[in-house]
Structures are given as C-alpha cells and as structure tokens.
Amino acid sequence: MGLKNSYPLAKKSIDNPHTIVEVNGIKIGGKDLAIIAGPCAVESEEQLFTIGAFLAEKGIKILRGGAYKPRTSPYSFQGLKEDGLKLLKSVAQKHDMAIITEVMDLSLLDTVYPYTDILQIGARNMKNYHFLKELGKTDKPILLKRGMDATLEEWLLAAEYILMGGNKQVILCERGIRTFDHTTRNTMDIAAIPLIKHLSHLPIIADPSQATGNRDIVNSMALAAIAAGADGLMIEVHNNPEAALSDGPQSLRFDQFSDLLNKLKLMGTLNGKEIPDFQLKTQFN
C-alpha cells in the first residue's frame, strides 16, 4: 500500500482525488452507479435484439457483448467478429445505448474502434505492455480488466502504461483472480475495490459474472461489490442462458437481472451512489 510512487499518473492525490469517465450520460466514478449489461458473446441478430430490448426497457445505457472472444480452446466458438460488431451497433443505435466490446489484439483495433464507445482490454491482455502503450494513444474510454494473476500494483502499473500515452479515461474492472479454490470460476477479490479507492483516482467497477462463473451467486456478489464501494457493475445477461454459446452458466436470466436492479435501488442510499435518475424513470415502473 506504500507503493504509490511507482505509478505517479494513476495514484490518488489531493490534486487528483477521483477521475470521472462519462459515457452516454453516465458519470462513471462520480455519483452514478454505472450498470453495463449484455451477453457474454454476440451470437445472433435475434439474441442481441431480444437482450437489447429488455435492457433498454430497464434503462440500461451501456451494452456489452463480445464479438471477438478469447477462448481457452481453439475448438470453442470464437465470436462473430465484424458481423458481431455490426449487430452491436444496430442494437445500440436503436435504443440509444453506448457499446463496450473487447479489442483482443492490437491488429484488431482499427476494425473495432469505429463500432465501440469503450475499448475493453481483457484480463489476458493486462500484461501485454506494447498493446497498453498503443491503446494509450487512442481517444476513447478504456476499460482495463484485472489480470487473473495480477497484484494490485501490477494492475495500476498497467493503467500507468495507458495513462502515459495520453488517454486519461481509464476505468478499472475487478473480475476475479485465480486461486487454489475452484468452487467458483475465479475468486472475486472484493477487497481490491476499497483498496483501489485508497490508492488511485481511477474509477473501478466489478464483473461478478466472470468472477464467479455461477449465476446463482452473481447478484449477491454484485451487491457486495457495491457495498464495498464499486462505481458500477458489468453483468452478463442472456435471454436463454442454457443455450448460450459462451459462458452460459454465469449469465443472468431476465428475471434475475430485474431482481438485481431492485436490490441495487435499495442499496443506493448506503454508499452514496445511485442509479441515475434518467434510468430510474424507466427501470422501476
């Protein structure tokens, strides 16, 4: 915790207490409780339009969805690639949503850039320093997932690589680390949230879907993350999780996601963060 000097640009200071990254009217890192939702992977027009319509009705303003998917096995579904990006764009435009999707490799940046509002750096790329440097030269917000083997200092140093390039709109995302216990897919390190708030001015959100791999506990962990001070959540939602081509077991059903929103509303007053008004109007009618 005394290592702040190793990342002068990412560290919290009196002059730089907290960065706010604004995306589609949501102030991430400010008073808004940011909620990003969508399927793990874009699978088809029907799937994405169904999920998009549901989320829009709930007031969600940032749509997630993987078009290029990093999969452990080369024999697993690898994503719809540029067709997936086009579907994201169609759904987002229809419902006035912003898009977040992963840039899996630097060579794909030019393809992905025009379609997305937030450039996602996946956990597997958090230590690809050349990639981080190059993304630091872009002008769109970047969501930097924590590597599954990364310490907090390594994570903040990865952010430092981006900040050095000039891009100041970095959002951190805790998504679980790898430990000996495989009861959950990863071990969600909730303590990283208040620690990052002590160490850095960057906003931090949490991804309980990836962190747990188990929809039965996603909502409990989402609430825990917010109780611990997270600025927002990234949640996987699917219209038919059992048939999902990627990570079905961790995707919420629609009713589970609605339940989460209701609980988050109650939680709001606790940590001083609230789901923005313009969302609430839709969500809770």
Residues 98-137, interacting with its own copies (CB under 8 A) = 104-108, 124-125, 127-131, 133-134
Q: Which is nearer to its own copies, 224 or 280 (CB)?
A: 224
* 95 CB-near residues (< 8 Å, 6+ apart): 52, 53, 55, 56, 63
Task: Provide the minimum distance between the beta carbon of 208 and its own copies in the complex, in angstroms, as a whole number.
Answer: 9
* Cα 30 from Cα 232, distance rounded (Å): 10
Burial 186-216, CB ≥16 within 10 A → b, else e: bbbbbebbebbbebbbbbbbbbbbbbbbebe
Residues 230-249 within binding reach of its own copies (CB under 8 A) = none
Binding string, residues 173-192; x marks residues near its own copies by CB under 8 A: ----xxxxxxxx--xxxxxx
Q: Which is nearer to its own copies, 99 or 264 (CB)?
A: 264
Q: Which is nearer to its own copies, 21 or 123 (CB)?
A: 123
Query: How many degrees, rounded to 5, is the angle at CA 235 between CA 229 and CA 239?
Result: 155
CB 39 within 8 A of CB 238: yes
Asked if 267 interacts with its own copies (CB under 8 A), we say yes
Asked if 227 interacts with its own copies (CB under 8 A), we say yes
Q: Which is nearer to its own copies, 53 or 106 (CB)?
A: 106
Binding string, residues 50-89; x marks residues near its own copies by CB under 8 A: ------------------x-xxxxxx--x-----------
Task: Provide the minimum distance between the beta carbon of 92 and its own copies in the complex, in angstroms, as a whole number.
Answer: 24
Q: Find the DSSP H helices in 136-207.
A: 152-164, 192-199
Asked if 139 interacts with its own copies (CB under 8 A), we say no
Asked if 280 interacts with its own copies (CB under 8 A), we say no
Task: Provide the minimum distance between the beta carbon of 57 and its own copies in the complex, in angstroms, as a whole number.
Answer: 24
Q: Which is nearer to its own copies, 73 or 285 (CB)?
A: 73
CB 69 within 8 A of CB 246: yes
Beta bridge partners of 200: 11
Beta strands in the chain (DSSP E): 21-23, 26-28, 34-38, 62-64, 98-102, 118-121, 142-145, 170-174, 204-206, 232-236
Only one of the segments 21-29, 40-48, 93-101, 210-218 lies at the binding site for its own copies (rule: CB under 8 A); that segment is 210-218
